[in-house]
Chain A
Amino acid sequence: MAKLFVLLVIILGVIALAQLMRVYELSSKLTEKKENEISNRDNRLNAKLMLGFMLFMFIGFIWLMLEYGWTGRGPAASVHGEQTDWLLNLNFVIVILVFFLTNALLFVFAWKYVKKPGVPAFFYPHNNKLEMVWTVIPAIVLAVIIILGLQSWNEVTDEAEDKAIRVELFSYQFDWKARYAGEDNKLAKYDYKLTDEGANPLALMTTETIDKAIELMTTGPNGIEDMETKLNDPKLVFSEKMRTEMEERLARKEQLIRLLHQMKARNTGKWDERAMDDFIADTLFLCKGENYELTFRSKDVIHSAYIPHLRTQMNTVPGAITRFKVTPSMTTQEMREIKNDENFNFILMCNKICGGAHYNMNMMVMVLDKPEYDKWFKGEWQEIDGKKRLMKRGKIHEETFAHTYYKEDPTKTYPEMQAEKAAAEAEAEGEEMEGEDNAEGQEAEEPEA
């Protein structure tokens, strides 16, 4: 019904327009008006509209500025961000001046020099001096902009100091994880082939994860053996398409398993230690005043880590590592006070188109002051946002990877936990010795590379 109505209105509108045109044509035939001869009245009308439009544009712009300002996201909350804002404001002053000046010249001339009967135009083909002026002045202004901009750029993109805290941001459709390097401040090595969605989602590389990945790939569900059985099972009937698809997948797995075996052969175990204390969080906790070296990774497609309030942005690229250094200069709490909004939070948003839920791919960023941050880093419970929270900290490297991130006793420090673990192992070994002797035989059974 509504569709019909809309259609009707449009059709009637077109007919009305056509009729109006006819009337206009007839009347202009009577007055012998030609389409290409613009009357003085029309000229003057448009000239005035030019001026009117300029006012509309300028007033609109000023209104928007007053209403929304150019820092709709509030002051910068990072050290380099403050500099960015300073530079941004400087540039804006220049740009806005140019915007007003040149637009004003354009529209005022358009209004002023409208055709006046009897006044000829002024034949003025060129003036080298003038042209020189408006080549040189922009060049000078731009030189200033370039120099200041590059200075700032060099500082921002410079390498972080060694002490800077290492945090890795890991992106995938459609979420983020933050990986902290832990006490040693060294991020563990990784390889995407070691990914185990349950136990090792960030694909960290240790002797154990390599073994586990090989096992999964060979005997796990939809592993090589599994697929071979399925493909050879005469009772199962697959469509042509499905069969080729499965064969392709199998071929991929066979290629990957070779690479995994190579990895295992090369592995000396020296990476294990680093992985021991890495931990993962799904909120990015930062400490005010500390220097951070953020590195970025992607599992599938390009994403981008955009933290508007920290004036920070960097793409995450599959197959490569990108980096960005940042020093928060304001805690979340401080920003809440400035914004006068108890519910305000910093946020990291995905800012590179990455699929359907791109708009919904984000992560909270919480900037704490030093005491609070330390507590969190050690894994102590604390009140944040009125809730008791332990921000999902835990050790990664455990025999049973699944469930371990969050189950660890948060009150213990890393060395304490190490010691406990060693003790437990010693005990278990003792028990095993008593039980069976063939454990060693199994261990020696190396898969062929």
Chain B
Amino acid sequence: MGAVAHEAHGHHDDHGHHEESFVSKYIFSQDHKMIGKQFLMTAVFMGVVAMLLSILFRIQLAWPGEESEFLSFFLGSEWAPNGVLSEDMYLGLVTIHGTIMVFFLLTGGLSGTFSNLLIPLQVGARDMASGFLNMLSYWFFFISSVLMFVSLFVETGPAMAGWTIYPPLSALPTAVQGSGMGMTLWLFSMSIFIASSLIGSLNYIVTVLNLRTKGMSMTRLPLTIWAFFVTAILGVLSFPVLLSAAVLLMMDRMAGTSFYLSDIIVQGEMLTQHGGSPLLYQHLFWFLGHPEVYIVLLPALGLSSEIISTNSRKPIFGYRAMIGSILAIGFLSFIVWGHHMFVTGMNPFLGSVFVFTTLLIAIPSAVKVFNYITTLWKGSIVYTPAMLFAIGLVSTFITGGVTGIILADSALDIAIHDTYFVVAHFHIVMGMSAVLGMFAGVYHWFPKMYGRMLNTRLGYAHFWITLVGAYGVFFPMHFVGLAGAPRRYYDYSVYESFDGNALEMMMDLNVIITIFAIIAAFGQILFLFNFFYSIFRGPKAPQNPWRSNTLEWTTPVEHIHGNWPGELPTVHRWPYDYSKPGQEEDFVPQDVPLAEGEEEH
């Protein structure tokens, strides 16, 4: 609808002229490009916060009990008396770090930024199906970000039950102080976040289905769009379940119901709730939780497909297999959630089923990896910073993916569940892959977002520091975990009492990890600087800086309402005609008609 209206405008060519107020242009904007940028800005802020939090608790892990000015600077005497992090706040920091990273940086930030920016531009639409809902989606995201951030400053501390907020711990304010006001804020923030995500996802789905331009069949869509599309479907199907889990938890907390509680005595107080099951919560949570992993990952994989193909100057290898594997991963991701629950007391037979389905996911994932590698093969690789990050993503996807095979094997999971091995696994496969993918996206589409170029050299430095830092942080964690170190531990002094050697090794590694983490964090300053500097002072971008095929590069550098000044482009080919034999240039944009006698791929 929106698109039709804009189409009518298009001919008058009045977009550049009619005055927009500051508020409607920069704040309550309904333009998908601006909304994408708003998502990105918010996510960058939240990402910096979450990274800082991780540095704070990493200091405690590497040098337990030592005074640190840094800690008292950020946390004050309340949470870091004498510069030593308090036990409770340790858990609070870990919880908010995880929550922000997963939901605010990599769901809101990644999907929100790039789905918004790219879906209309790459399918050839004037804007999202509903600009208003799109705006609403951002502002919900904004409010939930504010609430989550504010929860860090509550007197009784932020939520402290881990990002998975398992009840009863999260339901009982007397069990840990963060389950008071902090948890209330967490729940409200996440409920609003879910609303934002739902509105956004519905919009993405409708736009992809209905607003594709002429000639843009589903099998001519860039893989980015396929990834965003499936991601949105996953979100629509799974986030409501998290919402229901959260609502039931709120009722247990406030209305005295017993969905998740049964036979509990906490702090000497005997509760009357009976018959509830904490496992119910875990089923509901992970029914979202696992698809969430792919909600985080698929967009990153989509972005990198596009970037790798463009910068190898080769078509993505096995386009249809790539679509197939996105769909297969999307489908399978709904029937594997139980792999988080092998040792919760869930029926072991059910466990076996989940082992089977989970290991099946490895197949489409392997296909994706091999297709990326084959895309590089005999390419003519151009190392833009985006390309570096995309290759980094493939590497972390492999490295983190293979350890998943071990964790998915229930018999082995018994021995390593909830240890640092798991922390290593998910940080590499989900955290790093998605973060690298997001950076790749920012470097690649920055010219489209801001009409200016990022500095390439700084991009290189940023990439290498980040990649080395990421591996330096998360690789050793495997070994800490295999030594049996549980996660969410404030310190490992307990080892002193039973295995001094293991403690020594763990402390060695923890120091290494923290040092790499600090290096990596400093590396991000390069990015932040480059990013903000270039928004204002970067060199002006050409229209199609990477000599790419997709439609967004046929729009003018200056942003206009409705994206294309004249008619919408018509699509004549798939987006991956790179180095096609018989063509003059090594790329053929999608809106170029087939030449006489030329075969479509």
Where the two chains meet, the residues of A that have a C-beta atom closer than 8 Å to any C-beta of B are: 2-3, 13-14, 17-18, 21, 24-25, 34-36, 38, 42-43, 46-47, 49-50, 53, 56-57, 60-61, 64, 68-73, 81, 84, 87-88, 91-92, 94-96, 98-99, 102-103, 105-107, 109-110, 113-116, 119-127, 130-131, 134-135, 138-139, 142, 145-146, 149-150, 152-154, 156-157, 172-173, 191-193, 195, 197, 249, 252-253, 255-256, 296, 299-302, 304, 306, 308-309, 311-315, 317-320, 322-323, 339, 341, 343-347, 349-360, 362, 364
**CA–CA, A313 and B417, complex, Å:** 8
Q: Which of A21, A153, A315 is B355 in contact with, Cβ under 8 Å? A: A153
Q: Which of A61, A109, A350 is B475 in contact with, Cβ under 8 Å? A: A61
Query: Could you tell me if B398 and A99 are in contact, using CB atoms closer than 8 angstroms?
Result: yes
Query: Could you tell me if A150 and B383 are in contact, using CB atoms closer than 8 angstroms?
Result: no
Counting chain A CB atoms within 10 Å of each CB, the highest count among B345, B367, B453, B488 belongs to B345
Q: Which of B318, B381, B415, B601 is A113 in contact with, Cβ under 8 Å? A: B381
Would you call B412 an interface residue if the criterion is a C-beta within 8 Å of the partner chain's C-beta atoms? yes
Query: Could you tell me if A60 and B479 are in contact, using CB atoms closer than 8 angstroms?
Result: no
Query: Could you tell me if A121 and B464 are in contact, using CB atoms closer than 8 angstroms?
Result: no
User: A57 and B471 in contact (CB under 8 A), knowing A125-B315, A126-B321?
Assistant: yes
Chain B residue numbers with a CB within 8 Å of A61 are 475
How close is A233's CB to chain B, nearest CB, in angstroms?
22
Query: Could you tell me if B454 and A21 are in contact, using CB atoms closer than 8 angstroms?
Result: no
Would you call B502 an interface residue if the criterion is a C-beta within 8 Å of the partner chain's C-beta atoms? yes
Would you call B594 an interface residue if the criterion is a C-beta within 8 Å of the partner chain's C-beta atoms? no
Query: Could you tell me if A95 and B403 are in contact, using CB atoms closer than 8 angstroms?
Result: yes
Would you call B18 an interface residue if the criterion is a C-beta within 8 Å of the partner chain's C-beta atoms? no
Q: Which of A96, A131, A152 is B367 in contact with, Cβ under 8 Å? A: A131
Query: Could you tell me if B381 and A47 are in contact, using CB atoms closer than 8 angstroms?
Result: yes
How close is B359's CB to chain A, nearest CB, in angstroms?
5
Query: Could you tell me if B313 and A121 are in contact, using CB atoms closer than 8 angstroms?
Result: yes
Query: Could you tell me if B486 and A306 are in contact, using CB atoms closer than 8 angstroms?
Result: yes
Query: Could you tell me if A319 and B278 are in contact, using CB atoms closer than 8 angstroms?
Result: yes
Chain A residue numbers with a CB within 8 Å of B475 are 57, 60-61, 64
Binds A, one of B122-130, B212-220, B246-254, B540-548: B540-548
A-B contact pairs, 11 of them (CB 8 A): A35-B456, A43-B381, A60-B475, A68-B479, A72-B479, A102-B373, A105-B373, A131-B367, A306-B486, A318-B262, A345-B497
Q: Which residue of B lies closest to A81 (CB)?
A: B415
Number of interface residues of B (CB under 8 A): 144
Q: Which of A70, A302, A309 is B166 in contact with, Cβ under 8 Å? A: A302
Query: Could you tell me if A131 and B268 are in contact, using CB atoms closer than 8 angstroms?
Result: no
Query: Could you tell me if A315 and B344 are in contact, using CB atoms closer than 8 angstroms?
Result: yes
Would you call B379 an interface residue if the criterion is a C-beta within 8 Å of the partner chain's C-beta atoms? yes
**CA–CA, A146 and B490, complex, Å:** 35
Chain A residue numbers with a CB within 8 Å of B453 are 34-36
Query: Could you tell me if A319 and B262 are in contact, using CB atoms closer than 8 angstroms?
Result: yes
Q: Which of B315, B381, B539, B580 is A114 in contact with, Cβ under 8 Å? A: B381
Chain B residue numbers with a CB within 8 Å of A360 are 490, 494
Q: Which of B169, B314, B351 is A355 in contact with, Cβ under 8 Å? A: B169
Query: Could you tell me if A318 and B263 are in contact, using CB atoms closer than 8 angstroms?
Result: yes
Query: Could you tell me if A121 and B494 are in contact, using CB atoms closer than 8 angstroms?
Result: no
Counting chain B CB atoms within 10 Å of each CB, the highest count among A50, A127, A339 belongs to A50
Chain B residue numbers with a CB within 8 Å of A172 are 265
Chain A residue numbers with a CB within 8 Å of B417 are 313, 351
How close is A332's CB to chain B, nearest CB, in angstroms?
10
Would you call B40 an interface residue if the criterion is a C-beta within 8 Å of the partner chain's C-beta atoms? no
User: A103 and B454 in contact (CB under 8 A), knowing A299-B265, A344-B498?
Assistant: no
Query: Could you tell me if B383 and A47 are in contact, using CB atoms closer than 8 angstroms?
Result: yes
User: A300 and B175 in contact (CB under 8 A), knowing A60-B475, A308-B484?
Assistant: yes
Chain A residue numbers with a CB within 8 Å of B539 are 25, 34-35
Q: Which residue of B lies closest to A303 (CB)?
A: B169
**CA–CA, A345 and B495, complex, Å:** 10
Query: Could you tell me if B529 and A17 are in contact, using CB atoms closer than 8 angstroms?
Result: yes
Query: Could you tell me if A353 and B579 are in contact, using CB atoms closer than 8 angstroms?
Result: no
Q: Which residue of A lies closest to B391 (CB)?
A: A110
Would you call B467 an interface residue if the criterion is a C-beta within 8 Å of the partner chain's C-beta atoms? yes
Chain B residue numbers with a CB within 8 Å of A70 are 479, 482
Chain B residue numbers with a CB within 8 Å of A109 are 373, 376-377, 379
How close is A213's CB to chain B, nearest CB, in angstroms?
10
Would you call B244 an interface residue if the criterion is a C-beta within 8 Å of the partner chain's C-beta atoms? no
Q: Which of B161, B381, B499 is A344 in contact with, Cβ under 8 Å? A: B499
Chain A residue numbers with a CB within 8 Å of B537 are 21
Binds A, one of B105-113, B133-141, B269-277: B269-277
Query: Could you tell me if B391 and A84 are in contact, using CB atoms closer than 8 angstroms?
Result: no
How close is B182's CB to chain A, nearest CB, in angstroms?
13
Q: Which of B312, B355, B383, B579 is A146 in contact with, Cβ under 8 Å? A: B355
**CA–CA, A314 and B319, complex, Å:** 44
**CA–CA, A415 and B414, complex, Å:** 40
Query: Could you tell me if A314 and B456 are in contact, using CB atoms closer than 8 angstroms?
Result: no
**CA–CA, A96 and B482, complex, Å:** 15
Chain B residue numbers with a CB within 8 Å of A139 are 363
Counting chain B CB atoms within 10 Å of each CB, the highest count among A109, A255, A347 belongs to A109
How close is B82's CB to chain A, nearest CB, in angstroms?
15
Query: Could you tell me if A126 and B317 are in contact, using CB atoms closer than 8 angstroms?
Result: yes
Q: Within residues 211 to 263 of chain B, which ones have a CB less than 8 A from any CB in chain A? A: 261-263
How close is B259's CB to chain A, nearest CB, in angstroms?
12
**CA–CA, A57 and B395, complex, Å:** 11
Query: Could you tell me if B579 and A122 are in contact, using CB atoms closer than 8 angstroms?
Result: yes
Would you call B3 an interface residue if the criterion is a C-beta within 8 Å of the partner chain's C-beta atoms? no
Q: Which residue of A lies closest to B396 (CB)?
A: A103
User: A314 and B494 in contact (CB under 8 A), knowing A64-B475, A68-B479, A356-B176?
Assistant: no
